[in-house]
Structure formats: structure tokens, C-alpha cells
Structure 1
């Protein structure tokens, strides 16, 4: 049975993609990784990720475009702040029988793709690993889903963050996606888009409606650590970040909703992975020159690809 990791990226988040890929490959040299292009501007990140990190590009790019456009058009132009987030739904139709999806604003701290996460798919059909549900339904649903009996309170306890999750190939069909999105489009009052989220409310609705065998790893025996970089209770112990609520080291760190830049939470952690095995630049240099540097790299890669 094939297992693997999907990520989405474009050249704009090339540094984040490198940090994520370096962290994965540090602990796991073998698990296949497939890049789903976030948009058409992905040549530089594709060149670097395939050359240095063994990443493959999702083969059927026309399918990704068709799928994302049809999902987008169900709601209409201008409804979503970031409609390209829906391109990650190509995960359901790629080559992996079991897969994990990971956002690029994440770094991992162990062999999380296999040892800590993906094996749970032997017993469940959908897995996640976060404490999104502890914040209630905010950033996902409004109270109307309770008032209209769309979901029970127990079901709402399975709300998850869309940045790290796993499932199985074809468990959600194209028809199911379109039908689910159409249901959501007919009831926009059910969803909390106040923080400009795009795919998370809709995908939560789809999963809660169509995949009953769900499991959040934070509910495993013995508990599990948090992962959000904005959490205030984490503690440093040497090179590890500890969640004192369960007395366990974090297995991954997610900068969801946080701009990764000098001064952000755990900047040193992200910077460590981004420049692993490279000279470590100063924060001042990064702030002033990094964007121009990557613009030159992207231009060079595009020129090289264009001449082939």
C-alpha cells in the first residue's frame, strides 16, 4: 500500500516550503512527497524541492485546475479570500492510498508522517492532530449549525485545523465534493469567515458530514502536545519545546495565522530548519535582502526552464 505526504506551495512561500521539507527529510528520508502547485507560479519551488528533497510534482495539473475552478465557481467569484486553498483537495485523487497533508507554515520534530500519524489510518478513515476544537466553533462555524441541528455537539467536538490532516484515496469523490460545496454555498450563514479563512470551514463541513470514522491524535492514550506557535504555555527545555499540560515535547509546530518573520513566535526554530546545513544569515540581512535574493533565484530558474 502506498503512503505519502502532500504539500501545496508556490514561489511566494519558497522559504517556508524549504523549511518544511528540510524538517521532514531530517527525520524521514524515504516517505514520498508530492507537491500540489498552489498556482501557476511554482517553477522555482518545484525545481528546488525536486532536486534536493526528492519531491515529485502532482502529475495531472489539468485535473487540479478543473477541480479547484469548479469548487470555486460553486460559491461565485470573490467569495473566498484565498480560493486556491481548495487545490489541496486534489489529495483525494492522487497516487497515495493513505496520505498526510501538511501546510508549508509547519516544521516537524520527528518522523511524524509514519510513526506518529499515518499508522492511525489503519483503524480510522480521517485523522488530524490539533486542539482547534478547544476554541469552540470559531473560525469554522457559526451558532446557526447548532440552532438548525446541522451537527450535534459531539460532532462539533471533531472540528479540526486544515493545515495538518490525513485520509485515504477516493474516500471523498468528486461528486461528493461538489455536492457538499453546493450545500455550503446554499447556507453561508453556517460558516465563520470573519478571519478570512477559506477552505477550513467548508472542509470541516465535508468531513463531519461524510467521514464518520475520525480520530484526533490529541485524544490518544496519554494525551498529546499542542502545536500552534501562538500558544503561550509551551516551555523550552534545551532544543525541545514542551507542552507542560501533557509533559510531552511538541511533534510539530504550526504558525497558522502568524507571519513567519524576525520577531515572530519561535522564529529561531523556523530559522534553524530553513537554513539547516547552510550559512545562517542575520535577521537584518533577511529582512532587507531575502526577498530580492529569491526574486533573482526564481527568475534564474524560470529562464533555465524556459530554455530547455
Structure 2
């Protein structure tokens, strides 16, 4: 049985992808990691990750492109903000029998693939407090509850789509397309107010198709948090702690990594692990923003 990790990336998120892989390999040098290209502009980050961390490219790019085209056929053009974010769903049809999906704006603090051990009892694993914090926000509209689409017990299992695990075959290809069509016919079910794309759809699919689910933070006594917007975490030994509980990972969901970002120095530590750290890490990004602003001002007065 094959087990491993999937990520979705392109050159635009290359710095985050490197930081993530540096952290994964720090705790686990051997776990297989596959890169699902977000679009065609992924060669630079792929070359770095393949060379430094033995990352493999998703082996069936033809299927990946077919899946992307199918998404375009199923959903109206203005339905999904970033349709290519749906590419993470091909994890169910890739080479790994048991897999963990991780967004690139995450760094981990343990041998993270160990969460796959829970798949001996469950078909789907997540690890976050979205259900207790934001509730149905960024996932479902009030219609989903008012129309009784899911029970309250099911709705208590909503999750952030940046970190989750499942098994190949837990959802069939036919079932996936049927559920995607179902979603496309009921835009009123979903909360896209903050321009999320995959999270509402993924939650719908999982709640409909996989009855055996487990959120790791629901262990007795509660688990550690994971969102970088939580300011109370304490750093120790290049990891973060929620009180006495060591975080499994930290996720900058909705937070840009730039000067002043929470836990920025910790991210920098993992990004520049085993290589020289530049003196002005965000200089190019900042200069680019100022250049964009300058160009816009020039257009206003031209």
C-alpha cells in the first residue's frame, strides 16, 4: 500500500512551496510527495522541489487536464473564482492509496504523514477548528440548513480545505462528477462571499460521499489550533505551541506572507533552512507592489 502527500503549486507560490517541503523533509526525509501543477507555469518550482526534496510530478497529467476541462464544462464561467484550485480533487485518483493533501501556505512541526494512521478507522481526516470558529462561513449559506440538505451532526464536520487526508477509491470518478454537477445546479447552497473556490465544493462532496469522518482537534481535551491568525501561539524549538499542546502545523489561510505577517520569522527559518538567508526577503515583492501602484497612478493622469 502506498502512502504519501499531495500539494498543488506553481511558480507563483514557489517560495511557500519550498518552505513547506523544507519543513516536511525536516521531520520526514522519506515520505513520497507529489506535486499537482496548478497550471502550466510550474517548471521552476518543480525543478527545485524535485532536486532538493525528491518530489515527484503527478504522473497522469493527461487525466489532470481532462479533469480541469470537465470542471469547465460542469460549472458556469462565473461560478468559481479560481477553477484550477479544484485540481486538488484529483488526489482521489492519483497513485497514492492513502494520502494527505497540504496547501503550500503551511509549515509542519512533526512527521505529518503519521495522521494517515487514522485512515484505518475513517475515510476522511481533517484537523482544524473551522467548525467551532467560523462555522458555516466560507462554506455554506443558510439555505443548506434551512432546506435540510445536511443534518446538524454533518454540519459540525465542516473543515478548512488546506489540510485533509483520505483514501483512493473513497470517492469514485463517476460519483465525483455527479456531485460536482449537483453543486453546479445549486449555487445558493454555498458561501463564496470571500472568493473561496474549492472549500465549499469539497465540503459538500465529503459530507455527501464519505460517512466515516474524523477531525483530529476533536480528540478528548481538544487538539491544538493551526491558524496563523491566532496570536497566542508560543514558539519553542522551531515549533509553535497552543498552551502545552504542540501544533501539528501552522496555516496562513487568508494571510499573505509579507513584512509584519504573524509568525513570519518562523516561516523564514523553514524557508531558508540549509541555505543563506537574504537580507531583504520581501524586497522584490514590495517593489513590485509599488511599481503596480505607480503604473496605476500614471494611467489615471495620462
Q: Which residue of 1 aligns with 2:37?
A: 37
Offset, 1:78? 2.6
Structure 1 counterpart SS, 2:107? strand
Inter-partner Cα distance in structure 2 for 1:218 and 1:269 = 23
Aligned residue pairs total: 286
Q: After superposition, where does 1:99-178 map in structure 2 within 5 Å?
A: 99-114=99-114, 117-134=115-132, 135-178=134-177
Q: 1:301 is matched with which residue?
A: none
- Within 5 A, what are the aligned runs for 1:1-308? 1-114=1-114, 117-134=115-132, 135-237=134-236, 239-244=238-243, 247-282=244-279, 285-289=280-284
> CA offsets per residue over residues 89-132 of structure 1, 9 Å max, x none?
11011111100000000000111112xx1100011010001111
* 1:250-278 alpha-carbon deviations (Å, 9 max, x no partner): 11000000111121111111111000111
Could you list the structure 1 runs, at least 4 aligned residues long, displaced by more than 6 angstroms after superposition: none
Deviations 1:179-232 (A, max 9, x none): 111111111111000000001001100000110000000012342101000013
1:108-164 C-alpha deviation (Å, 9 max, x unpaired): 0111112xx110001101000111111210000011111100011111000011000
3-state SS of 1:196 partner: coil
Is the CA contact (8 Å cut-off) linking 1:7 and 1:36 kept in structure 2?
A: yes
- Structure 1 residue 46, shift from structure 2 partner: 1.0
Does the C-alpha gap of structure 1 residues 87 and 232 become closer, same or farther in structure 2, counting only changes over 3 Å?
Answer: same
How far did residue 240 of structure 1 move? Answer: 3.6
Q: Are the equivalent residues in 2 in contact too, given 1:10–1:37 (CA < 8 A)?
A: yes
Where in structure 1 are there 5+ consecutive unaligned residues? 293-308
CA 1:5–1:68 in 2, change beyond 3 Å: closer, same or farther?
same
Partner SS for 1:49: helix
- 8 Å CA contact 1:65, 1:87 repeated in 2: no
Distance 2:11 2:239 in 1: 30
Structure 2 distance, partners of 1:226, 1:167, is: 21
TM-score with structure 2 setting the length = 0.91
The alpha-carbon distance between structure 1 residues 290 and 51, as it changes in their structure 2 partners (threshold 3 A), is farther
Closer/same/farther in 2, CA of residues 30 and 236 from structure 1, 3 Å limit: closer
User: Is the 2:79–2:187 contact (alpha carbons within 8 Å) kept by the matching residues of 1?
Assistant: no
**Structure 1 residues 221, 8: CA separation in 2 closer, same or farther (over 3 Å shift)?**
same
Question: Deviations along 1:264-299, whole A, 9 cap, x unmatched?
Answer: 1111111110001111222xx22224699xxxxxxx
